[in-house]
Structure 1
């Protein structure tokens, strides 16, 4: 198996937590990924904490990368223009290389023109600044990450874990990504988006939330599960339930249900020999055709194509 090289470009003011995410996630699969960290000049990098970090490489390793990752840096260093040396460093990246940003790293990609005309995200707290500086980018501050093929952007802090796990899932399937998540002791997939974390001027009304109902829904995905049934389980009116669900999860109940059904179907395609129609019934889609349509809309392939790609990607032992 060819080892995939991930090169992390650390900029001055980097957040230490996010800087370490790629090594922690991809490093759990050392037979599949190699992670190298570099700076624009090969020298030490100041962090936003009271210490600096010494990296192992200079910008020349960017030319060898299969994936380039930009971790975030301190808000005080945000600028509409590229930081010194970054343009020259990014010019070393080969065309077609996958490029990923975490949080404010998206500002670097936007300043370099790599996000023009593309959908992208960044931390919700700096979304207004981002929009004003880079109007050519289709910013969505409500999601945890955006996958636009060869360019991926993610929101703040822990969403760096989300996007890295997503890349493992995209490269090697859900079973391998789930193994990495267990090793890192994190959920393999987080529901919803950034909307659930945004500070609202008026706090949500007191009372029980929708968490118990979401868990109940996951245990009953094989059922149709109408909005009325969900609201009834939560003992809320339809209007209150839909509003509360959106506040807590960042998407509508219907969209969330489809996402959970597709995720469960992916798992069954990888780990069982069940027919597509049987899987559709187990995850709550009315027909195999419905499953095919939703899976294609979510990941762009048919159930059989997905199974052929990932059926052999069993989770490593250990």
Structure 2
């Protein structure tokens, strides 16, 4: 029986810990024999948000586990327990599979487990991870990274994706899909899928672009140029570019492209329209153009993205 040890530390976030327990606690398919032995390890009672967690085993048990999962920590600047880092290093050196969920990547990085590897974490903390641990290649755009024996996920829902990925690796798609159905989540999202595609940025009602955003969003299915946007906003193209940069952090054309991709995502998630029809509705013209831009922005083809929402 493969042992999965969850590291319980004071100040960790409860979502990833509880989610990992829910995913690995039992096999709803009845097909995986043996299933995992799940243990929560730590040095004593800890706080996880508003919850108290009493680990059933100590760090010595974690150091002997087959798979070690480090859930997210609330404060990435807080000093990490020495005994936790020692146990993580010992388990890694003993050949355990090492997994971080969300900001748990900071623990693996501090223990040296991520040295020379690619990792990810919640998009809000990728810059901090990269700056603090330059020996780690941080990919800010993906849902999770699989280096073989060292894996890392982005935040929240991406942690579920990675846990299901582990089950798929260990027991196959049928078992992983059964777990996903029990959790009522998509059975598979490829790790290379983007964490998010930028959505419209709300502007103050008195901002010069306040009326332009909803106007453009209602016309995504039509050809729109920078000149069209500038004319609607009653300003020059150069002034429009300055205003867009200050509000959205990007250019009008990139913003418009992002909204077209997001519209395509919504239609793929919620409708049965053909790829051609979605391309037209999102203002991307043809299925070929949609596939090219969608894959570049999201990291997976539109057909694969749609299957994510059809397999639950």
Shorter-chain TM band: 0.5 to 0.7
Query: Closer, same or farther in 2 for the Cα pair 1:198/1:165, shift >3 Å?
Result: farther
TM-score, structure 1 normalization: 0.66
TM-score, structure 2 normalization: 0.68
Q: Whose Rg is larger? A: 2
- 1:60-91 per-position Cα deviation (integer Å, ceiling 9, x unaligned): 1113311000000112x525x64332222224
Q: Please list every run of 5 or more consecutive structure 1 residues that lacks an aligned counterpart in the other structure.
A: 268-318
Count matched residues: 247
Task: Give the structure 2 partner of residue 214 of structure 1.
Answer: 268
| Residues 1:52 and 2:40 are matched in the alignment | no
Query: Closer, same or farther in 2 for the Cα pair 1:6/1:237, shift >3 Å?
Result: same
SS of the residue 1:85 aligns to: helix
| Residues 1:232 and 2:280 are matched in the alignment | yes
1:167 to partner: Cα distance: 0.3
Task: Give the structure 2 partner of residue 32 of structure 1.
Answer: 35
Q: For the Cα contact (< 8 Å) 1:101–1:109, is it kept in 2?
A: yes
Q: For the Cα contact (< 8 Å) 1:13–1:74, is it kept in 2?
A: yes
Distance 1:128 1:198 in 2: 20
SS of the residue 1:152 aligns to: strand
Query: Closer, same or farther in 2 for the Cα pair 1:151/1:174, shift >3 Å?
Result: same
SS of the residue 1:12 aligns to: coil
- 1:236-264 per-position Cα deviation (integer Å, ceiling 9, x unaligned): 446995798479x623xxx425756999x
Distance 2:47 2:197 in 1: 32
1:144-293 mapped onto 2 (5 Å cutoff): 144-190=143-189, 192-196=193-197, 206-207=217-218, 209-211=263-265, 214=268, 231-232=279-280, 234-237=282-285, 245=294, 250-251=298-299, 255-257=300-302, 259=304
1:6 to partner: Cα distance: 0.4
Q: For the Cα contact (< 8 Å) 1:124–1:198, is it kept in 2?
A: no
Q: Please list every run of 5 or more consecutive structure 2 residues that lacks an aligned counterpart in the other structure.
A: 204-212, 221-262
Compute the RMSD of aligned alpha carbons: 3.5
Query: Closer, same or farther in 2 for the Cα pair 1:122/1:199, shift >3 Å?
Result: farther
Q: For the Cα contact (< 8 Å) 1:210–1:244, is it kept in 2?
A: no
| Residues 1:67 and 2:67 are matched in the alignment | yes
Query: Closer, same or farther in 2 for the Cα pair 1:44/1:171, shift >3 Å?
Result: same
Query: Closer, same or farther in 2 for the Cα pair 1:108/1:215, shift >3 Å?
Result: closer
Query: Closer, same or farther in 2 for the Cα pair 1:173/1:114, shift >3 Å?
Result: same
Distance 2:202 2:129 in 1: 21
